[in-house]
Structure 1
């Protein structure tokens, strides 16, 4: 049994996609008999410390930019102010380029200083920092430097190299910089849990000497919906209810094309209701459809994970809009597959790696937005809603197909590493 500390910038009670993954891993490790601790983000009205289902949870306030950005995501207010903040942040990045990817050095130092008390009082054996952001990994590197006997790992639920290139970096220079910096970072850590979609980026000659430290894992979100029989949320059964849960990005995950398809079906008399859970940076698009079709488009904003689980359980189908970054496989893909619900998937790139996983799922409708065949997509969607989606999906039958995306698959790696090092 080990004392394990996770460091994440997610909020514990209202986690983002990374936070959901971290909590599933912590719960599985707790079931294995380990003692779990977590340093996470503090939001207004949160207690600074609490014990949640036997996990000791410590809170650190987000930096000013993230607090203001979070407020904007929730309310859509002060858009000009946020644009100015983003511009200043980009200018600031140029001055701290030598420290890249630690673009928030003050926060990483703050996390490290805070963690020293947690390490000392709880006899921590292993610390795992979560990327992204890099602040948490940077704090773990500082811990390793000052406490070399503690096992330190990085859990990369997102990729730095090959992802969205921040302005004003040229892509080639950015990727080369990432490669050089990450080799040094990985070399200092005891182990790295890397998202499976990063394998083609890191399973290369440059990282050959440290390849034994890198373990490729899928997102650990394939788990049976425990609230499936509670029925706390009930939708109007006169409608075909579609649920989208997650963040919507104007540039990465834009709902406009799919909403236009639904609009066509609604105008032709189909009783369909689109339930939208989560924040976005494209509130104008969502508001346009909600105001034009108030009986068919409903937005709920940010809600807690248990509400999302209930909403998905009550739905007739779930919506999955894939990223425009085709190399990245979102954790949402595996989470939705574990729901056993019919999945409508909007594809933005013909080479999207998510499709190879979704092809294993027995009840999915692919909408190829990149082909721009609106009439064909309307017909395909109509057919799916009317009849094709009725096929039943049984969790126990598909679980073996997605085992690598279960929490157990990742915790087995952590446990093997702890056992091999005497943790």
Structure 2
């Protein structure tokens, strides 16, 4: 019932099923074409940022491959992350150094491979534009900057396709170049949390550089907007009492709506209060950081607080599934707490520089200069690997 409620409302906040499937299919098809090109021309490794050996390893492990390919994020990055580089061939301006290097790194290929590169470049750019026009979290989903997102949305597809026909290099490359990634992949340690870690690590949008102190006390929303947001909140599992406080709804009405959506009464009892819980375990920290990162990305892209939370909850549930710990209620509490005070902060890992949530209150104080993230400390073994280890012992 909750899923039907979400899908019934036309919004750019939740990721439509068909769009998630397009991203997943693109992960497979673009990875396949990279493998096909590298099989013929290993000199293209520099352009694709991955070796033929690694791609063959990638195809040999079905379970971690499925984990990676079926996420609602692209497993690829643009080879040209800066709008200035795109202007080189789209707007016919002076060639940028990045474009010159990329063109020189791409070997001369035969007509069939050249056609494939053109076709999949168009496929990739079409997907970028589709997601950009349909989801407020498009930039982190696609692994691009907000500047590139803004540039691409202003260009018609016919102009981009004509420009793509004039280049001989790929516009996409492999996202996960890290040596540690391949070690975890081969050993079967790749979990949803480790995928989230690598998504944040390879993102060009660090959480610490994004806004987070939006106004929580004066949400100026029309009555219809409040009702719609409240329904979406509760459809995502948020308690009726949270929706009441957030949107100033009638308590009885809110409980009735919750029961209509889920078929059961809204949970009652103590609400989330602990802030150290978010950093209590490696999994908690990764999921909390992931939620904070997405929430701030949505705010940066113009969403208000309810919109940012709804979009964040949707993507987090899509990625973590049944293993999601940061529920809608917890996401609301986490975002609000970080906007109101400094007992939780965001700081980079001293090893990989990925931003993570750190505690800074009386019960637990973490210093940024000493912090090593769960990804670099090998704390994110998959649940399957952990179960297998327990079974052997």
Q: Does TM, normalized by the shorter one, top 0.5?
A: no
Kindly indicate which of the two structures has a greater share of residues assigned to strand.
1
Kindly indicate which of the two structures has a greater share of residues assigned to helix.
2
Whose RCO is larger (CA < 8 A, sep 6+)? 2
What is the TM-score with the length of structure 2 in the denominator? 0.29
